[in-house]
Amino acid sequence: MEDCIFCKIIKKEVPSQIVYEDSQIIAFKDIQPAAPIHILVIPKKHIPSLINLNKEDELLVGQIYTVINKIAEDLKIKEKGFRVIVNCGKDGGQEVEHLHFHLLGGKQLGEKIV
């Protein structure tokens, strides 16, 4: 999508600190980290939000979780633990309309609501 900031990151039109990339998925550091480790894992395909996922995306979502596991291992937070968050829509607090999985760790995370 032309004016999507994450699509621009995928196309390297906007700089980012990439920690993982393959043909379908890219992961980079969040510009405003909420924890010592705060990575955004996104599909390269422009999917606006969780509600726009289709049956054909099931494998892709599974692959995203595999990538999250790999990054957690690479960044050495697998043993201590981490949190994965997907904000969806207005009430969910989603600000960027390109599906993204927040990977947070590196400290005891607070504000646990569930």
Choices 30-38, 41-49, 65-73, 104-112 (CB under 6 A): range interacting with ligand AMP: 30-38
| Closer of 59 and 88 to ligand AMP (Cβ) | 88
* 49 sits near ligand AMP (criterion: CB under 6 A): no
Nearest-angstrom CA–CA distance, 1 and 71: 26
Q: For residue 20, give the 3-state DSSP assignment.
A: strand
* 31 sits near ligand AMP (criterion: CB under 6 A): yes
Select from 20, 45, 87, 109 the one that contacts ligand AMP (CB under 6 A): 87
Query: Contact residues for Zn ion (CB under 5 A)?
Result: 1, 4, 6-7, 46, 98
Residue reference for tokens 């900031």: 5
- 46 as an active site residue: the answer is no
Instruction: State the amino acid at position 49 in one-letter form.
Output: S
Residue 100 CB partners (closer than 8 Å, separation 6+): 6, 40, 41, 42, 86
Q: What does 13 interact with, of Zn ion, ligand AMP, none (CB < 5 to 8 A by kind)?
A: none
Q: Residue 55: left (phi > 0), alpha (psi -120 to 50), or beta?
A: alpha
Taking residue 94's Cβ as centre, other Cβ atoms within 10 Å add up to: 17
* 14 sits near ligand AMP (criterion: CB under 6 A): yes
Residues that bind ligand AMP in the complex, under the rule CB under 6 A: 5, 14, 16, 30-32, 40, 87, 93-96
